[in-house]
Amino acid sequence: MKNNASENYVIRKATIEDLDNIAQLEATCFPAAEAASKESFKKRLERYPDYFFLLFISGKLISMVNGLVTDTPDLQDEMYDDAGLHNPGGAWQMIFGVDTDPAYQRHGYAEATLHAFIDNAKKEGRKGVVLTCKDKLLHYYAKFGFENEGISSSTHGDVTWYQMRLVF
């Protein structure tokens, strides 16, 4: 049953204090082979907390979107764990993960968080946003204007990923 996201949520950027909740949400949403580790999130949060958008309901973390900024136009696997590749002046906003707590899925919370993240990238003057996803979610990201660029070079978690790009 899908409802529109109600207005009872708050979206904000992350701080290092959010590390435990972020790692926990990721482990709940992704299989172990695909989930980013707590150590990887720690490095990302130390380097680019402003590129983590978190949605809370009554203080509980429900959804998040994160990723670094780079001049490299294609999303590459080494970006996940090498936070040093973040370039604040870069042209492209990457999305590494979109997560919603399973108990809260299909209520529009990922959509609300994605809109906030995309709007921020637009406001910051990026060329656009790039992500990779499995085939079952191609239609979902297409609703936001992302175009499918075909199978990505990613071998992350040993599954097939498609690269999608939203150009502003």
Q: How many positions of this chain bind ligand COA (CB under 6 A)? A: 18
Nearest CB to ligand COA, comparing residues 3 and 125: 3
Q: Which of 4, 125, 136, 150 binds ligand COA (CB under 6 A)?
A: 136
Q: Tell whether residue 162 is a contact of ligand COA (CB under 6 A).
A: no
CB of 69: closest distance to ligand COA in angstroms?
Answer: 18
Q: Which of residues 73-112 bind ligand COA (CB under 6 A)?
A: 98-100, 105-111
Least Cα distance to 41 among 81, 69, 101, 94 occurs for 81
CB 56 within 8 A of CB 21: no
Segment interacting with ligand COA (CB under 6 A) among 13-21, 43-51, 115-123, 129-137: 129-137
Q: Which two tokens stand for residue 139?
A: 């239609």
Q: In the 3-class helix/strand/coil scheme, how is 64-121 assigned residue by residue? A: EEECCEECCCCCCCHHHHCHHHCCCCCCEEEECEEEECHHHCCCCHHHHHHHHHHHHH
CB of 14: closest distance to ligand COA in angstroms?
Answer: 17
Q: Tell whether residue 2 is a contact of ligand COA (CB under 6 A).
A: yes
CB 78 within 8 A of CB 71: no
Q: Tell whether residue 138 is a contact of ligand COA (CB under 6 A).
A: no
Residue 130 carries which side chain, given as an amino acid letter?
V
Q: Interface residues with ligand COA (CB under 6 A)?
A: 2, 29-30, 63, 98-100, 105-111, 133, 136-137, 140
